[in-house]
Structures are given as C-alpha cells and as structure tokens.
C-alpha cells in the first residue's frame, strides 16, 4: 500500500473531541505507516436530528468501497424509543459484518489506582444476541408486556470462538475463558458454549489450538472474579451483551473507560473505536481522555499489519500514563484533551 485511506466517523459528544486527537497521532507516525488519507463521514444522533437518518447510506458505501479502515467515536443514543432512529454503530457492525469486538484491558504499572495487575482481552460477539433488537410491546391481561429476541447462531459463535482461540494462541498465557449463563439459558448460551468449545475439533485445524487451555465461567461469577482476582483472566470470549458489560467493568479496574480501546473486526474490514460512549457529562469541556481513541488507532494499525506504527503509539501512551504528569480528570489529573495529545505527540 502506498496510502492508507481512513474513514473518520466522530459521531456525537466527546467522539468529536477524541477522534481528531487520534487523527493527529496517526499523522505524527510519518513514514512508519503508508501515507494516511482521511475521509470525514457522518453518523449519529446529531446526524439523525439534522438529516432524519442516523447512518446515511453514503457513509456505509464510502467505508465499503473506498476506505481501508475506519475510526468511530461515539454515539448518543436516546434511552427512549424514537421513531426512525436506530443506533448507527450497531447497524455499522452488522452492515460491514464486523463480527468481532476485540477489547484489550491492560493496567499500566504503577497502576494509577494501585489495583492488581490486569492484562486481558475481552472478545465480544458483535452482530447478534439481544442486539438484533427485535423487541415487541403488547398489552396483556395485567398490562404492558415487552419481549425481545436473543439470537445465538452456530456460525457467529464459531467464528467469534475461532477468533478468540487465535488471539489466545498468540499470547504467552494462552488461556481462554468462555463466558455464558447456560445454567439458566441452556438453549441460547448452551449453543454458544458448545460451539466455542467445539472450535478446536473443527476439521482442518489439526491440533492447532492444543496449547490453549480452556475454562468457562458463568457471567455473574465472572464479574465477581474479575473484581477479586482479575489476574486469572487472559482471553475472555462472550456473547454480545455480556461482552459489553464485562469490558466496562474491566475498564473500571484499570482506572478509566477513557483508556480502553477496541476494534470491530471482520474478514474484510476493521474499525477502531474507543469502548466508551459519548459522555454527555463532560461533553464540550475539552477534558475527554483521548488515550482510548489513540490506542484504538494503534489496534487498528496492528490489525492491518503495521505493528511498527502501532507499537510507537502504544509505547507513547504508556509513557504518558506511567509518568502521570499530564492526565485528564478521569485519571485524577488536571490536563485537557489537547494537552494529553501533545504529551503523546512529544513521545513519538
Ligand atoms: P459513557 O461511556 O459515555 O460514560 C460513562 C462515564 O465514563 C461518564 O462518567 C463519562 O464521563 C466517563 N467517560 C467515558 N469516556 C471518557 C473519556 N474518554 N474521558 C473521560 N471520561 C470518560 O456511557 P454512558 O454515560 O452510559 O452513555 C452516554 C451515551 O453514550 C449514551 O447515549 C449511550 O447510548 C452512548 N454510548 C455509545 C457507545 C458507542 O458509541 N459505541 C457506547 C456506550 C454508550
Ligand atoms: K464508542
Ligand atoms: Mn458499551
């Protein structure tokens, strides 16, 4: 590749503050990566209120046909039902078949909150579970009744399972924990658990994952153990909703959601995205932590094979956190988004 075409979708709230910071960090990599070209794209709640659509077809088409990868910020989805609105990030993951949400949670030592050392990856299924969003409201004998469909397929469970085994195999501990609740949901979570467990037995793998140890943990006790002994986890694979919740919980243990990156990965496309949302409580104040987005850019670059550029970003971010002088208020600092970005750039 001579150039790298990156779609930028800051969307709403602090997404508009942290994605520009990630862009500057990518530009600062210079010749460590192919020359980046950025395409500004729109989506989100504000886009919906302005244009009537939350995810314009043009945004999807440009990502599909012109971009090598993308960075997404955050959307402000209302908690109430709004006719015609549907979360664009959930839709994008499905439309681009970005079936794996990979979320590394690592504590940088000395940890800002003096917590135990954490080095894990949450591998979240990204296309189904309750996020198929088939909800219906009916009136029953005793009032309103709401129902939702929770879809778990063998295909999606197998491919997320295989992704998780691959990630586990590449790590030093090679330990995979399957998260489920099949003691209660024996059909849906039962299928997820059985299918992931069956991945090493798939035809053609020839013992490829023999070195990976497999454990499983019910989702509630997984959260309990995560808070008590986070060091037992290496790679955690989970259906969509559990993966969402567990990664926010793990974020708290390393200090802030503003540190946790992710990629939405499919077989043909990758989109970096900070795990956090649009943070309306701090929006517009210029104090959002940009590190999750810069790390998301690093993850995206690494996924594309540009590990030199990715390493540089990660090392710069780690140094800024470790030094502890220039941090945003979520990490008990007093610096702004721009000051933290400048600190990262000065280390590159
Ligand atoms: P949130 O992640 O936006 O915020 C949770 C808390 O973490 C807030 O106190 C916020 O200030 C803090 N925080 C998050 N990111 C931060 C950062 N980079 N720097 C400093 N502090 C940070 O979650 P929420 O408040 O539950 O949701 C707000 C909105 O975001 C909702 O509309 C929700 O639908 C949306 N959301 C979007 C995504 C997404 O875009 N994928 C994910 C989660 C939530
Ligand atoms: K986000
Ligand atoms: Mn979430």
In tens digits, what is the pLDDT along the chain, a chain of 348 residues?
Answer: 889 999 999 999 999 999 999 999 999 999 999 999 999 999 999 999 999 999 999 999 999 999 999 999 999 999 999 999 999 999 999 999 999 999 999 988 655 555 568 999 999 999 999 999 999 999 999 999 999 999 999 999 999 999 999 999 999 999 999 999 999 999 999 999 999 999 999 989 999 999 999 999 999 999 999 999 999 999 999 999 999 999 999 999 998 999 999 999 999 999 999 999 999 999 999 999 999 999 999 999 999 999 999 999 999 999 999 999 999 999 999 999 999 999 999 999
Tokens of 186: 């024996």
Q: Is the CB of 277 under 6 A from ligand 1?
A: yes
Query: In total, how many domains does the chain have?
Result: 2
206 and 228 co-located in one domain:
yes
Q: Is the CB of 43 under 6 A from ligand 1?
A: no
184 and 272 part of one domain: no
Give residue 148's domain range.
116-253
88/213 same-domain check:
no
Residue of 16, 76, 78, 257 to mutate, ligand 1, most atoms within 8 A of C-beta: 257
Indicate if 249 and 271 belong to the same structural domain.
no
Q: For residue 206, give Cα distances in angstroms to 33, 184, 200, 209, 210.
A: 35, 34, 8, 8, 9
Sort strands 135-140 and 143-148 into parallel, antiparallel or unpaired: antiparallel
Ligand 1 proximity of 271 Cβ (cutoff 6 Å): no
User: Do 59 and 82 reside in the same domain of the chain?
Assistant: yes
3-state SS record for 5-50: EEEEEEECCCHHHHHHHHHHHHHCCHHHCCEEEEEECCCCHHHHHH
158 and 239 together in one domain:
yes
257 CB near ligand 1 (under 6 Å): yes
Q: Among 279, 296, 329, 344, name the best residue to mutate to test ligand 1's pocket (greatest count of ligand atoms within 8 A of Cβ).
A: 279
Are 71 and 185 found together in one domain? no
- Are 1 and 31 within 8 A, CB to CB? no
From 202, 221, 253, the end of a domain falls on 253
Query: Is the Cβ atom of 340 under 6 angstroms away from ligand 1?
Result: no
Same domain, 9 and 86: yes
Cis before residue 110, ω within 30 degrees of 0?
A: yes
Q: Is residue 45 part of a domain?
A: yes
Question: Which residue, among 45, 57, 67, 134, has the nearest Cα to 92 in the 3D structure?
Answer: 57
- CATH number for the domain including 199? 3.40.718.10
Q: Please report which ligand is nearest the Cα atom of 279.
A: 1
The residue among 22, 31, 10, 43 whose CA lies nearest residue 299 is 22
In a domain? residue 32: yes
Q: Measure the CA–CA gap between 66 and 77, rounded to whole angstroms.
A: 27
- Six-digit token string for 180: 């489920």
Question: What pLDDT does 116 receive?
Answer: 63
3-state helix, strand, coil in the chain (%, to 5): 45, 20, 35
Position 110 in a domain: no
- Ligand 1 atom index nearest CA of 18: 18
Among all ligands shown, which has an atom nearest to the Cα of 260?
1
C-beta 293 within 6 A of ligand 1: no
pTM for the whole thing? 0.96
200 and 293 assigned to the same domain: no
CA angle, corner 222, sides to 216 and 228, nearest 5?
A: 125
Residues 169 and 75 in one domain: no
What's the CA angle centered on 72, arms 74 and 129, to 5 degrees?
75
- Report residues near ion ligand 2: CB below 5 Å: 74, 273
Q: Is 260 within the bounds of a domain?
A: no
Residues 138 and 242 both lie in one domain: yes
Task: Map tokens 């009744």 to a residue.
Answer: 145
Query: How many whole angstroms separate alpha carbon 189 and alpha carbon 185?
Result: 5
Q: Is residue 229 part of a domain?
A: yes
| Partners of 191 in beta bridges | none
Check whether residue 121 and residue 218 sit in a common domain.
yes
**Where is the domain boundary, 253, 286, 301?**
253
Point out the domain boundary residue: 203, 220, 253: 253
């Amino acid at each position: 590749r001579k150039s790298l075409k990156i779609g930028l979708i800051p969307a709403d709230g602090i997404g508009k503050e942290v994605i520009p910071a990630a862009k500057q960090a990518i530009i600062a990599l210079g010749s460590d990566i192919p020359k980046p070209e950025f395409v500004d794209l729109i989506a989100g709640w504000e886009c919906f209120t302005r244009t009537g659509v939350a995810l314009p077809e043009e945004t999807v088409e440009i990502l599909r046909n012109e971009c090598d990868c993308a960075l997404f910020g955050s959307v402000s989805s209302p908690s109430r039902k709004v006719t015609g609105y549907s979360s664009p990030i959930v839709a994008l993951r499905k439309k681009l078949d970005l079936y794996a949400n990979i979320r590394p949670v690592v504590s940088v030592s000395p940890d800002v909150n003096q917590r135990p050392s954490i080095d894990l990856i949450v591998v979240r299924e990204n296309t189904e579970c309750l996020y198929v969003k088939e909800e219906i409201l009916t009136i029953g004998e005793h009032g309103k009744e709401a129902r939702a469909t929770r879809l778990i397929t063998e295909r999606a469970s197998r491919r997320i399972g295989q992704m998780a085994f691959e990630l586990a195999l590449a790590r030093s501990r090679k330990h995979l924990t399957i998260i489920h609740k099949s003691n209660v949901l024996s059909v849906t979570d039962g299928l997820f658990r059985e299918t992931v467990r069956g991945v090493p037995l798939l035809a053609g793998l020839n013992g490829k994952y023999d070195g990976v140890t497999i454990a499983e943990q019910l989702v509630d006790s997984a959260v309990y153990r995560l808070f008590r002994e986070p060091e037992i986890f290496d790679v955690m694979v989970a259906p969509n909703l559990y993966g969402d919740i567990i990664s926010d919980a793990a974020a708290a243990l390393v200090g802030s959601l503003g540190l946790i990156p992710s990629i939405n990965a499919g077989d043909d496309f990758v989109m970096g995205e900070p795990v956090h949302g649009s943070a309306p409580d701090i929006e517009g104040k210029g104090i959002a932590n940009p590190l999750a987005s810069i790390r998301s850019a690093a993850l995206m670059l690494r996924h594309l094979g540009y590990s030199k550029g990715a390493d540089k970003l990660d090392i710069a971010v780690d140094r800024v956190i470790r030094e502890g002088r220039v941090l945003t208020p979520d990490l008990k600092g007093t610096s702004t988004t721009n000051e933290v970005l400048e600190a990262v750039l000065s280390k590159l």
